[in-house]
Chains A and B, each alone.
Chain A
Amino acid sequence: MQVTRVPAKAGVSSSAKAVPSIRAGRRCLVVPNAVKEVFMPALSSTMTEGKIVSWLKSVGDKVKKGEAIVVVESDKADMDVESFSEGILGAIVVQEGERAGVGAPIAFVAENASDLDDAKKKAAAFGGAPAAPAAPAAPAAPAAPAPAPAPAAAPAAAPAPAPAPVAVAPAPAPVARTDGRVVATPYAKQLAKDLKVDLATIAGTGPNGRITAADVEARAAGKAVAPAAPIAAPAPSQAAAPAPAPAPAKPAAPAAPAKGTTVSELRGTTKPFTTLQAAVARNMNESLKVPEFRVSYSIVTDKLDALYQQLKPKGVTMTALLAKACGVALAKHPLLYAACTPDGNGITYNANINVALAVAMPDGGLITPVLKNADSTDIYQISRNWADLVKRARSKQLQPDEYNSGNFTISNLGMFGVDTFDAILPPGTAAILAVGGSKPTVVATPDGMIGVKKVMNVNITADHRIVYGADAAEFLQTLKSVIENPDQLTM
C-alpha cells in the first residue's frame, strides 16, 4: 500500500525528451519543451493501467508545479497526481472514467497560451477529445422527426408474430411548461448526460412538466424512432416509454402519416423480403395450422392508471405493470402459458411464466423481448429488466433466450387509439393478448347509475387445441380482477 503523497512518478515530462522504447515513435510529433505530456503514473509496483477518476483542472486552467491536477485510480488506491511543470492545461486525452496504460499520455500542458494550439493538435493526434469538454451538443436529438422506419407496417416479427407493436401503457400527456423553462430532476439530468439525450427535446410528464428520470429513459429507449413529440411517436415499440397513452385518441391521427414519407419512392416497385420479413411471413403461414379463437373483455383501468401515476417517478412503466398483471393472472391458469406439443398429441406445461412483449425495431423488424418469471419478479425489477431489454433489443444485442423463451405474448396498440384488435398467435404458445387503448367510457354502474370510467378492451387469441373458451374467459376474468385491484402488483 502506497502511502503519502505521491509526487506523481509520471507527472509531466518534456515530450522532447528521449522516451522509453515503445512510444518513441510518437515522439516525433512533439515540439520541444513548449508542450509537455502528462503521463499515467505508476502508483504501485503492480500497476499496469490506471483509471482517471476525475480531472481536478479543466482545459485552459493554469497549472502550477506540484499542484494536483488529476485523480487516478490504481489497483490499490485513488491518488492525486501532481504536475511536474507549470503552464496551462492544453488538452485532456484520457477523459474521466477512461483508462490508460502506465506511461501513456493523459493530457498536455502548454507552457504558455501561444502553445495551446500545439497542445490541442497533439492531443488530437492521440485521438483524444481536444480541449473543449463543452461539446456534448452532439446528441442534440433528432430535431427533425426523422421518418421513422415505419415499423408498425411490419406487423409481425420473426420469432413471435405478434401482429402489432406492444407499447402498452397509459400515461398522461406531458404537461408543457408555460414559461418555456426546462425543469429536470437531478437524476434525470445525470441520465440525460449519460444517455446523451438533450433535455430540451423532452416533454416532461412530472408535476408542472418536470422531466423525470423515467422521461429520459423513455426518450433514450425510443430515441432512434421517436422525436420530440412525445406521443405521436411512431415508435410502436414504446413499450418502454411511459408515454403513449390510454388517452389514445389524439396520438392516433398523427402516428400514421408520420411514416408516409418514403411512400412515393416505393410506388410501383416490388422489393424482396429481408430475412427478417421472410421469417415473419413463414411464421404467419405456420400460424394458419393452429385452430385459433378469440375472446374479448372490457377492463376498467382507473385504479391501474392511478397506481401508474404513483409509481412512475420510480421508473415503473405501464408495460411493466401490464406484464406483471398478466404474470399474476397467469399464475392461476397454467393452461394459458402451456403449449401444444409439436405432434399435436399433448400439452406441455411450462415451469415459468415468461411474458413476451412485441417491440418494433427501428429498421422495420419486430422482436419480442421476454420478461421472465413475470409473476414472481417485483414490479421495479420488471421495469428495470424491460428498460434493459428494450435498449439491447434496439442495438441487436439480445441473446436468443431473451426473445424466444416467451410462453405468453402481449401486443399493445393502445397508444394509437385502437379500440380492439386481433392478434395472431405465435407458434408454440397457447395465447396472445391484444391490448387496446384505455379511454373514458360511459358505463352503467352496478347500482344503476351512469358513470364515466376508463375502459380498456383486451382480446385474447388462443390455440383451441388446448385452451377452450371457458379457459380463456376465466383467465380474462382473473386478469380483470388483477387490473382492477392493482395493489397486489406492487407486492
Chain B
Amino acid sequence: MAASMAATQQRLALGAKQATCGPAAWVRPAKTTVSAKRNGAVIPDVILGCVPMLAGSRRVTASRAPQQARSAVLAQAASGDKFDYDLVIIGCGVGGHGAALHAVECGLKVAVIEGHDIGGTCVNRGCVPSKALLAASGRVREMRDKTHLAAMGVQVGAVSFDRQGIASHAKDLATTIQGNLRRSLEALGVDILIGQAKFVGNQRVRYGLPGRVDVGGEVTARDVIIATGSVPFVPPGIPIDGKTVFTSDHALKLEWLPNWIAIIGSGYIGLEFSDVYTALGTEVTFIEAVDNLMPGFDREIARLAQRLLIQGRPIDYHTGVIASKVTPGVPGVKPVVIELTDFKTKEKVDEIEVDACLVATGRAPYTNGLNLGAISAATDRRGFVPVNEKMQVLDTLGNVVPHVYCIGDANGKYMLAHAASAQGISAVENICNRPHVLNHLSIPAACFTHPEVSFVGVTQEKAEEMAKEQGFKLGVSKTSFKGNSKALAEKEGDGMAKMLYRKDTGEILGVHIIGLHAADLIHEASNAIATGQRVQDIKFNVHAHPTLSEVLDELFKGAHLDAPQNGHAASTVPVAAKPQPAVAAA
C-alpha cells in the first residue's frame, strides 16, 4: 500500500498544475493479480510530448489497457451489463478528469457529464488562466525592478505591456489545456455527455441543458461520483455587476485595469490577484474580516508574506472589517463605494471609494440541482455534500449511500484542484474494492505570488496545540533563502522555510515555504509526509548544489531528534488533525 501511495503522490505532484516537457517514467507498482494480468503487455517508458501530465501520464497507460482489460473486469462484475456504464462522473473539472483517467486505468467503462466547460474552474476560471496572468505580470514586475536588475548589472529600457495581450495569453492557455483534457478523455474512450445532471436514483442520472431538447438523456451506472466543484462565493450585500464589482471569474479576463481596486478577502485568490494588479500598476486595498491578513496561513509565514507581498507595494488594508454594502460604479466615471463594518461590533466604521472591487471571499460548492433527495441525501448548511473518509456520500442519517461518491470542492474537504483529483483516484480505488483513504495532510498547497508561498501539513499554531494535547515535544527547524547560493545568484534572498516535526519520532507534521519557486519546492516535503518518511530518513538525502532545493536540505539537516533511534519503525503515527480550513484553488 505504501508503495502505491508513493506512486499516487508522485503522479499528483507532477500533475498538479504544471504542464511538463520531457521524459516521464511511468512506474507501476505490482499490486494485485488483476493488474498484473492486465499489464501483460507492458509498454516501456514513453517519451511524452508537451502535454499536461494529468492527461499525459495516463495516456500512456491508456494506450495499453483499453478493451480487453475492461471486459475482464466487467466479466468479474456479474451485474456489469445491467448498467450503461460502470462509472458516471458528474462534472469534468480536474477532479472528475482525474477520477475518469484512473477509472479507465482500472478497467471501468466511464462517462462524464459536463454542464459547462471541460476542465471546470481550475482550467477555465481558476488556477490555469491565473498562472498565465501571474507569469506575464510577474515578468513585468521583474523587468521594471530596475534596482534589482541593476544589482545584477542588467539595464533595461522602458518596459511596457499590452493588457489585451496578457488577457489573451490567459484565455489561450485555458483553451489549450481544455482541449488537452478533452482529447485525453476521448482518446481513452470516456464518453462526454453534455448537460447538467440530477439524480433519479442511486444509480440512475438524468442530464440536460435548460431550454435545449437536442441534448440530454438518462444513464445508469454501477457507481456515480459527484464532482460538481464550486463557484465564487459572494457574501450577501454585494451585487456583482461584472464591470466594477466582480469575482475572479471576471477578473481573469482582465478586461480593464482600474487605477485602484479593493480586494475583499486576503486568501490565495486575493493575494494572487493583488500580485497581478500591483505589477500592472493598479493600487490595491485589501478588506479582510479576520484581524490578520492571510488567515489560514502559518502566522510566521503570513508575517513574512506581508512584508514581501504587501509592504513596499502600493497596497493598504483594512482588517477586522467586512464589506457590508457595495455600490457598483461606472468605470472611469463613478467610483465603487464600499461600506466597511466592524466584524465584531457590526458597526459601520468607514467607507471607501475605489475604481473597482474584486470579491475573493472564497468559494461555495456548486451542488444545486443535483436532486440529492432522490438518494436520500442532502447538502449541509453551506451546500457541501457530506462524505466519509472514503469519499462515500452520507445520507441525512449519516449512513453511507451505496454507489454514490463525492469528490473535490463539492465535498469541501480541501478545496484545491489537485486535492480533488487525488480524492477522485481514492474514490475509484474504493469503487474497485481496494479500500483507500487519502491523507489530506500530505496534500501540498501553493500560492503563486512573487515570491511564491507553499505549505503542506499543519501550521505551527496547530502543531503546538497538537504537541500539548498529545504530549510530545515539537521541533521547529527554520532556514532562510538568504543562505542559499542559488537564491543569492538570482538576488532573490527573501524568504524562509520551516519544518514542524515530532522530536520523539521524527514524524514531519508540516512544512511551510515562502520564497523563490516555493510552489515547486514543497513536493519533497509533501511526498515525504505521504510516504511516511521521517526526518531521520530523509536527512541524509543529497541535493544538487547549487539549487533552491538545498533550502529543504538545510531544513532537514537542521532538525534534531531527542532520543537516539533504536530502530523502532512503527513510530509513524498518523496525525489526527484536520487539514487547513477550506481554501479554494487559485
Whether both chains belong to one complex is answered with: yes
Residues in chain A within 8 A of chain B (CB atoms):
1, 3-5, 53-54, 56, 71, 75-78, 80, 183, 185-187, 189-190, 206-208, 210, 212-213, 313-314, 377-378, 380-381
B304 CB-CB contact with A under 8 Å: yes
User: Are B283 and A210 in touch, CB under 8 angstroms?
Assistant: no
User: Are A186 and B259 in touch, CB under 8 angstroms?
Assistant: no
User: Within the complex, what minimum Cβ distance (angstroms) separates A5 from chain B?
Assistant: 6
> Within the complex, which residue of B285, B353, B558 is in contact with A3, where a contact is CB–CB below 8 Å?
B558
A190 to B332, CA, bound (A): 23
A469 to B483, CA, bound (A): 66
Going nearest first, the 5 A-B pairs with the smallest beta carbon separation are A378-B158, A1-B483, A187-B314, A77-B480, A3-B558
- Which of the candidate stretches B44-52, B105-113, B471-479 sits at the interface with the other chain? B471-479
- For B383, what are the chain A residues with a Cβ–Cβ distance below 8 Å? none
User: Are B314 and A77 in touch, CB under 8 angstroms?
Assistant: no
- For B170, what are the chain A residues with a Cβ–Cβ distance below 8 Å? none
User: Are B285 and A186 in touch, CB under 8 angstroms?
Assistant: yes
Size category of the binding interface on chain B: 20 to 34
User: Are B158 and A381 in touch, CB under 8 angstroms?
Assistant: yes
Assuming the A-B contacts A77-B480, A80-B300, are A185 and B157 also in contact, with contact meaning beta carbons closer than 8 angstroms in the complex? Answer: no
- Report B278-289 CB contacts with A as 1/0, cut-off 8 Å: 000101110000
A314 to B160, CA, bound (A): 12
B206 CB-CB contact with A under 8 Å: no
Assuming the A-B contacts A208-B335, A213-B314, are A380 and B158 also in contact, with contact meaning beta carbons closer than 8 angstroms in the complex? Answer: yes
Interface CB pairs A-B, < 8 A, 22: A1-B483, A4-B477, A4-B478, A5-B478, A53-B307, A56-B303, A76-B480, A76-B482, A76-B483, A77-B480, A77-B482, A78-B480, A183-B352, A185-B260, A186-B314, A189-B316, A206-B259, A207-B355, A213-B314, A313-B259, A314-B281, A378-B158
B315 CB-CB contact with A under 8 Å: yes
Nearest-CB residue, chain A, relative to B312: A190
Most buried by B among A185, A210, A313: A185
- For B174, what are the chain A residues with a Cβ–Cβ distance below 8 Å? none
- For A189, what are the chain B residues with a Cβ–Cβ distance below 8 Å? 316
> Within the complex, which residue of B284, B353, B477, B482 is in contact with A186, where a contact is CB–CB below 8 Å?
B284
- Report B309-340 CB contacts with A as 1/0, cut-off 8 Å: 00000111000000000000000100100000
- Report B492-518 CB contacts with A as 1/0, cut-off 8 Å: 000010000000000000000000000
User: Are A1 and B314 in touch, CB under 8 angstroms?
Assistant: no
A210 to B337, CA, bound (A): 13
B395 CB-CB contact with A under 8 Å: no
B555 CB-CB contact with A under 8 Å: yes
A178 to B303, CA, bound (A): 39
> Within the complex, which residue of B157, B259, B353, B483 is in contact with A208, where a contact is CB–CB below 8 Å?
B353
- For B477, what are the chain A residues with a Cβ–Cβ distance below 8 Å? 3-4
- For B300, what are the chain A residues with a Cβ–Cβ distance below 8 Å? 80
**B541-584 interface (Cβ within 8 A of A):** 554-555, 558
User: Within the complex, what minimum Cβ distance (angstroms) separates B301 from chain A?
Assistant: 12
User: Are A4 and B283 in touch, CB under 8 angstroms?
Assistant: no
User: Within the complex, what minimum Cβ distance (angstroms) separates A383 from chain B?
Assistant: 11
Other contacts beyond A212-B259, A378-B160: 6, CB < 8 A: A1-B482, A77-B479, A186-B260, A213-B314, A314-B281, A378-B158
User: Within the complex, what minimum Cβ distance (angstroms) separates A81 from chain B?
Assistant: 13
A206 to B482, CA, bound (A): 41
User: Are B160 and A3 in touch, CB under 8 angstroms?
Assistant: no
User: Are B315 and A186 in touch, CB under 8 angstroms?
Assistant: yes
Assuming the A-B contacts A77-B496, A378-B160, are A190 and B314 also in contact, with contact meaning beta carbons closer than 8 angstroms in the complex? Answer: yes
A76 to B479, CA, bound (A): 10
User: Within the complex, what minimum Cβ distance (angstroms) separates B260 from chain A?
Assistant: 5
User: Are A185 and B482 in touch, CB under 8 angstroms?
Assistant: no
Assuming the A-B contacts A3-B558, A5-B478, A210-B353, are A78 and B259 also in contact, with contact meaning beta carbons closer than 8 angstroms in the complex? Answer: no
- For A53, what are the chain B residues with a Cβ–Cβ distance below 8 Å? 307
- For B160, what are the chain A residues with a Cβ–Cβ distance below 8 Å? 378
- For A207, what are the chain B residues with a Cβ–Cβ distance below 8 Å? 332, 335, 355
- For B483, what are the chain A residues with a Cβ–Cβ distance below 8 Å? 1, 76-77
A54 to B305, CA, bound (A): 13
A110 to B62, CA, bound (A): 71
Assuming the A-B contacts A185-B259, A207-B355, are A3 and B307 also in contact, with contact meaning beta carbons closer than 8 angstroms in the complex? Answer: no
- Report B138-177 CB contacts with A as 1/0, cut-off 8 Å: 0000000000000000000110100000000000000000
A151 to B240, CA, bound (A): 53
A207 to B281, CA, bound (A): 17
- For A4, what are the chain B residues with a Cβ–Cβ distance below 8 Å? 476-478, 558
- For B332, what are the chain A residues with a Cβ–Cβ distance below 8 Å? 207
Most buried by B among A4, A183, A189: A4
**B56-113 interface (Cβ within 8 A of A):** none
A1 to B478, CA, bound (A): 10
> Within the complex, which residue of A3, A186, A313, A380 is in contact with B479, where a contact is CB–CB below 8 Å?
A3
**B454-479 interface (Cβ within 8 A of A):** 476-479
User: Within the complex, what minimum Cβ distance (angstroms) separates B204 from chain A?
Assistant: 55
**B171-208 interface (Cβ within 8 A of A):** none
- For B335, what are the chain A residues with a Cβ–Cβ distance below 8 Å? 207-208, 210
User: Are A1 and B479 in touch, CB under 8 angstroms?
Assistant: yes
Assuming the A-B contacts A185-B314, A190-B314, A380-B158, are A78 and B558 also in contact, with contact meaning beta carbons closer than 8 angstroms in the complex? Answer: no
A377 to B158, CA, bound (A): 7
User: Within the complex, what minimum Cβ distance (angstroms) separates B124 from chain A?
Assistant: 31
Nearest-CB residue, chain B, relative to A78: B480
Nearest-CB residue, chain A, relative to B475: A4
User: Are B558 and A185 in touch, CB under 8 angstroms?
Assistant: no
- For A208, what are the chain B residues with a Cβ–Cβ distance below 8 Å? 335, 353
User: Within the complex, what minimum Cβ distance (angstroms) separates B532 from chain A?
Assistant: 24
- For A3, what are the chain B residues with a Cβ–Cβ distance below 8 Å? 477-479, 554-555, 558
